[in-house]
Structure 1
Amino acid sequence: MPTRRAARAFCQPANDVLLYLPQYDAYQRPGKVLLQHFDGIEHGFKGLPVEATSELLLKQGFGYDFISDKQVQQVQAVGAGLRTSGGAQYRTILVPNARTMPLETWQHLVQLAQAGAPVLVQGARPTGVPGLGDLARRQAAFQRLVVQLPFKPVPGGQRAAWGKGAVLLGPDVAQLLAQAGVRREVLVDQGLRCERRRTAGGYTYFLVNWGEQPVQAWVPLATAARSANLYDPMTGQLVVAAVRQSAQGPAEVYVQLTPGGSCLIDTQEAAAPATGAAYAYYRPAGAAQPVAGPWAVRFVAGGPTLPAPLQAPQLDSWTQLAGEAGQKFAGTALYSTTFAAPGGPAAGYLLDLGRVGQSARVQLNGRELGTLIGPAYQLYVPASQLQARNDLRISVSNGMANRVAAMDRAGQEWKTFYNVNMAAKRQENRGADGLFTAAHWPPVAAGLLGPVTLTPVAVGGPPL
């Protein structure tokens, strides 16, 4: 069990940028909301320049954390970087085209630059202070600070050297960050997103493939790494990942991620190699072979009633195969079929269930292979687990959408919550009483939709 100190250390962010939240710009916007809630960009800051800037930073691979006026005033300059009151380290702070800013915040930003930290201002400098109390004095003090900064033209903007640091001003965020020495995670160019945390010996990356295509590639890291462990949260497998030093300098780790897939990469900066079993990378060794069926389908749990068992020559949604009972059903159905072992030598096979609505538990020849929740429904099957004739059983469970819609159409009350009126966010989901209803929802595809295939694969190290 880790200590609290160790847990706090693990949770320290490893982002490079503090992104200033222009709270007072949000206050000054006219609107129809009587009590504005500030819980993210969507509520409070949508439409302000900070929204576009935050999206741009994510898209270009710059890690950041938002910071408020009160928090800014507690930040300290440490060397050429910054440290927050919570002890987290950052390279720079970015002001995203803010129009107004408290005098105390601007004063502290200038002090941070003087102490050696780079302060970045996107677009134009703030023009003044918020509020009417003692406005003339505060505005004059603000303008004196702005005027005394000796801005000089530099490529892409302006730079004011101040004490040990500088204030950089310009429209191009990526260029400002490059001038401040901030490196981006270029892995985003391959369709990946990441969260990064600092550990005692390196970094922990959470990688997710948000693209529509699989990623099977050497992925460059913006941090130093000599070795790495890879953790697959879907299987619980912890293995040693392949790491190499690229010709350009950064370390690279080889990953295989399906669309929607994710993993944890734990890197080590020391020369000592990671210990444990090496990650088994799969490479297609032949064409996909269909598991054609026919399929026996038996509904085993759920309601309102269990549809009758059926034989399916071809896979389809059970809302189609089981008629009206299937359209109302929410629960679990067991799909079973047999198939002959594929011909030809192979180390193993990739079992791909195709489309599934929504989760699947897979058993082969009485052996549990795993549970899948998507969006890709794939499992590796070693060749040793196949027999001349194989029994494949797949238990599929759907969500409650079809059941809820059927209950609303029948006028059956299911919203048994204390003192809650369920408002409809969308007009099409609003009933005659003004509250939420799913009565107009069409059936959602459910069950094993396929196609189910087996692809022979070779197992080994990544391509060099």
Structure 2
Amino acid sequence: MPAADAAPPGTAASIEGVAPGRALAAAAVAGAADGNAADGVTHFSTVAEVQRHLAAPPDDARPMVRWWWFGPAVVKPQLEREMLAMKQGGFGGFEIQPVYPMELDDPSRGIRNLPYLSPEFLDAVSFVNQKAHEHKLRVDMTLASGWPYGGPHVPVTEAASRMRVAPVDLPAGADSVALPSIGSGERLVAIFVGSGDARKFDATALKLAAPAQANGRAQFAPADGARVAVFYIASRTAQQVKRAALGAEGFVLDHLSRSAIDHHLDQVAEPLLRAFGDQPPYAVFSDSLEVYGTDWTDDFLAEFQRRRGYDLKPHLPVVYGGQGQDAGALRRDWALTQTELVNERYLTPVDDWARKHHTRFRSQTYGEPAVSLSSNRLVALPEGEGPQFRQFSFTRLATSAGHLYGRNVISAETWTWLNSPAFSATPLDMKVEADRMLLQGVNLFIGHGWPYTPPGVQEPGYAFYAAAVFNNHQPWWNVMPDVTSYLARTSYLLRQGEPANDVALLLPNDDAYAETRPAKVSLSAEMPHFVTPVLMEQILDAGHNVDFLDAEALRDSGKHYPLIVLPHTTRMAPDTLERLIRHVSAGGKLIAVGSKPSLAPGYADAAAVTAKVRKLSEQLFSMPGVQLVADDVALGAAIGKAVAPDFRAASQAAGLGFIRRKLADGDIYFIANTSNREIRTTATVAARRANAAWWNPHDGSVTPAQVVPSMGLVLAPYESRVLVLSDSVKATGTSPTAAPTIVTLADLSNDWQLSFPGAGGALEQPRGLAKLGSWADDAATRYYSGIGVYRKDVALDAAQLKGGRIKLDFGIGTPLESTPTVPSGMRAMLDSPIREAAVVYVNGQRAGAIWHPPYQLDVGALLKPGANRIEVQVANLSINLMAGQERPDYRLLSARYGQRFVPQDTHLITPRPSGMLGTVRLLSVTNP
């Protein structure tokens, strides 16, 4: 969930190093006879093995949904109905996420909010688990309600912690000052005195004091001038669990405290797991770390001394004031210590607990506190969030960690902020965001999400306050199996073989740590200042995909990249520089952007360490194969000199994305047009194999391709394709060598019959349409959400059916330059000629679904000489129905439970264009 509302520790760490932690997981076993890797997920190493499952991907690749239980006010019959609907729609399972109530208890309507962890709630969990196994659906369980972890079991002494700084004026001649009030869960850590006043003082000049304290006052020797006394108080953030279910309200726990984590596992996780009986969930889940304001824990000073080798207490004013030349080094040490603590006291214990209970820990490991990329090595299932393919993203942190540490399946919370408000998102919106996730290396989608809706609730049912809806209350549910088939097939393909990115970007964690500040200690928040959009674009447009890397992964993962990029790096440990020297000595290339490493990462012995850093840096940058470029814009050209492109388009590169997986005898390239315009170019690929084929990600069909020396590439807006190069498997047929010849057999744009089955009354009766247009423009159907059935007969003779393929074409859609009315998230910047999806029948047989460009279907096999009946079942959005209704009144709900949510962007709820809007043609397509 976005902030936007958004082996055990082992030996002690050295002064500059993090404890080695658990041993690296062994890489998944590829190419086993049964195709199953060590994690139980289908994983092959040869092209033939992968192709064998292309038409029907394994169930473990199917997307999942986050299943919101509001209240929770759930009943067993509806729970099972919704699970069966998920399966019918092509979803492979769900993550249970209990959240805030949507309604007050109402016995007359069967609404009863079950308190979190109550026997009734746990019985519902047990029931769902049993039925899910019967229906062969995966079950994941969130180890909390809402996020981050916390609840009523968290006493103030285990609540998320922070340092509170309280400056107090000490007037001239004064010999005492009132101590700040020390509340529950607080403790006075240190007192400093110096010149200045409570509004402005020089933190570097403050002196640690130990005044006598009596009767609520601190005693000081009088002085002639005015001074300031600054009190440093270990305090609590007071953050409450966000979006908590009934009975789950309370403090967010201290993620740097082992006792707080152990208490949570005992009070929350254990009862939840007992509800699963002898069938534990596939995984237990933690959402993104949004522990706002945390930067301390009770034993922080002692842990800091042990890890960094010096006492932090005298330096507190500099750390929390940010003044002086040492502030960056001190803050780096302070923030790094927090990463080590969250690794050892939160991630490792929860992962160990999950393994002990025969499940897996799935974690969104980014945010606050400051976890690192390599923190993901401590969890079984890394998860990302965010579709920012051409920028720094949380998703690429997770996928890169998976590539580095042998986690073959990397999931992503997907569609979190898709086309607000709720019920606005379309199947094309889903694909546009999903493709950007795939391009980053995601290969399991966790859809955000599926709102449980009690029986009898007015359509279109419940919606989460800030998310799209992907359940069977959407009219376009008729194409959901087609959408999920695409998602499953692409996920399956991007799990096979091994990741194959040639470029790694070494994240400047130490520089980012140095830039952190009190109450905002987050590597992922600071990193975009170093890894800028321009820098990412330079790498991608140079014909490469990219993994992130950090110093720990460089040390531990064993992964080799032909090229490593250092973005705006000044602080670096000597041992990291030594590894980079070994990388270049072994033939690797390196490019630094903007600066060379020149400073010790931290404070201890900084002068001596800095001297060593500069000596090693000069050695590194004197080596062949190492470049220093002045700025981000110069990076692309430098990459071109260093390594050959993996996939390079002759033009329109900014709209294209790709990712490659390497097999023993082939390569899989997923290629996507991420723009709303057609791309027409040529492209070259670095991999050289004997054979090439296009594998259709929508239906699994295979056709030959020609890629030597380059290939023509035509992609419709937002179209994606899969290119497979193979030494052993050759596709049948011949690949086209020139553009096809297209002839219009019939213009079908006029004279359709339209009806609305199930709408009631006259709407169910067919009516003639002289021309196509939006049914939302008609007062009778302005607020209609559902399916409109278009029928038309077309006569064809035998001559017209001979020759080429025959396609039913609905037009190209309209690119959008901007969407100022969509304030949150993303959407497809294209208005479809079909609003929003359709299933097509020809002579009573299903021809396929229309929900993404190109808006065409091959229908030749279903046509016959003479009369042909074409039926197009078009589904629109539920938002049209909502636009004709009053918004719910949550006044009484908020009075009872407090305002736990505010529905997002409700002022944008208006009817959207609906139906067939474009030119419809029957085309004959002949390839030379």
Q: What TM-score comes out, normalization by structure 1 length?
A: 0.76
Report what 2:782 is aligned to.
Answer: 327
Conserved in 2, the CA contact under 8 Å of 1:60 and 1:188?
A: no
**Which of the numbers 554, 565, 585 marks the counterpart of 1:72?**
554
Conserved in 1, the CA contact under 8 Å of 2:680 and 2:714?
A: yes
Q: How does 1:338-417 map to 2 (within 5 A)?
A: 338-341=793-796, 346-354=803-811, 355-382=833-860, 385-407=863-885, 409-411=886-888
Seen in structure 2, the aligned counterparts of structure 1 residues 346 and 168 have a Cα distance that, compared at 3 Å, is same
CA–CA distance in structure 1, aligned partners of residues 530 and 686 of structure 2: 30
Report what 1:428 is aligned to.
Answer: none
Seen in structure 2, the aligned counterparts of structure 1 residues 245 and 147 have a Cα distance that, compared at 3 Å, is closer
1:337 is the counterpart of 2:800: no
Shift of 1:19: 0.8
CA–CA distance in structure 2, aligned partners of residues 184 and 443 of structure 1: 45
CA–CA distance in structure 2, aligned partners of residues 129 and 399 of structure 1: 57
Seen in structure 2, the aligned counterparts of structure 1 residues 99 and 225 have a Cα distance that, compared at 3 Å, is same
Seen in structure 2, the aligned counterparts of structure 1 residues 129 and 205 have a Cα distance that, compared at 3 Å, is same
CA–CA distance in structure 1, aligned partners of residues 855 and 866 of structure 2: 24
Deviations 1:153-172, CA, capped at 9 Å, x for gaps: xxxxxxx22xxx64322233
Q: What is the aligned-residue identity percentage? A: 23
SS at match of 2:565: strand
Conserved in 2, the CA contact under 8 Å of 1:21 and 1:50?
A: no
Conserved in 2, the CA contact under 8 Å of 1:350 and 1:456?
A: yes
Shift of 1:376: 2.8
1:207 is the counterpart of 2:688: no
Q: Which amino acid in 2 is paired with 1:53?
A: L
Conserved in 2, the CA contact under 8 Å of 1:421 and 1:435?
A: no
Report what 2:918 is aligned to.
Answer: 450
Report what 2:722 is aligned to.
Answer: 264
1:314 is the counterpart of 2:792: no
Report what 2:635 is aligned to.
Answer: 173
Report what 1:96 is aligned to.
Answer: 567
Q: How does 1:12-411 map to 2 (within 5 A)?
A: 12-29=498-515, 34=520, 36=522, 38=524, 43-74=525-556, 83-84=558-559, 89-149=560-620, 151=621, 160-161=622-623, 166-171=625-630, 172-187=634-649, 189-190=651-652, 191-215=655-679, 219-239=683-703, 241-246=704-709, 252-253=710-711, 255-268=713-726, 270=727, 274-278=730-734, 283-287=740-744, 289-300=746-757, 309=765, 310-321=767-778, 323=779, 326-341=781-796, 346-354=803-811, 355-382=833-860, 385-407=863-885, 409-411=886-888
Seen in structure 2, the aligned counterparts of structure 1 residues 444 and 384 have a Cα distance that, compared at 3 Å, is closer
SS at match of 1:176: helix
SS at match of 1:395: strand
Q: What TM-score comes out, normalization by structure 2 length?
A: 0.40
Structure with bigger strand share is: 1
Q: Which amino acid in 2 is paired with 1:175?
A: A
CA–CA distance in structure 2, aligned partners of residues 313 and 259 of structure 1: 29
CA–CA distance in structure 1, aligned partners of residues 725 and 501 of structure 2: 16
CA–CA distance in structure 1, aligned partners of residues 735 and 575 of structure 2: 53
Deviations 1:8-46, CA, capped at 9 Å, x for gaps: 6834211111111122333333679635372xxxx4423
Shift of 1:71: 0.8
Q: Which amino acid in 2 is paired with 1:293?
A: N
Q: Which amino acid in 2 is paired with 1:245?
A: V
Shift of 1:202: 1.9
Conserved in 2, the CA contact under 8 Å of 1:359 and 1:397?
A: yes
Conserved in 1, the CA contact under 8 Å of 2:510 and 2:601?
A: yes
Shift of 1:228: 1.5
CA–CA distance in structure 2, aligned partners of residues 403 and 279 of structure 1: 47
CA–CA distance in structure 2, aligned partners of residues 110 and 287 of structure 1: 63
Structure with bigger helix share is: 2
CA–CA distance in structure 2, aligned partners of residues 168 and 37 of structure 1: 26
Conserved in 2, the CA contact under 8 Å of 1:352 and 1:452?
A: yes
Q: Which amino acid in 1 is paired with 2:640?
A: A
Shift of 1:437: 4.4
Deviations 1:402-427, CA, capped at 9 Å, x for gaps: 334444x34367xx9xx99786xxxx
1:3 is the counterpart of 2:467: no
CA RMSD for the aligned pairs?
Answer: 3.4
Shift of 1:195: 0.9
CA–CA distance in structure 2, aligned partners of residues 210 and 91 of structure 1: 27
Gaps of 5+ in 1: 76-82, 152-159, 247-251, 424-433
CA–CA distance in structure 2, aligned partners of residues 279 and 238 of structure 1: 11
Q: Which amino acid in 2 is paired with 1:331?
A: G
Q: How many residues align?
A: 407
Structure of higher CA gyration radius: 2
Moved more, 62-71 or 283-292: 283-292
Seen in structure 2, the aligned counterparts of structure 1 residues 244 and 113 have a Cα distance that, compared at 3 Å, is closer
Shift of 1:203: 0.7
Q: Which amino acid in 1 is paired with 2:700?
A: G
Q: Which amino acid in 1 is paired with 2:37?
A: R
Shift of 1:120: 2.0
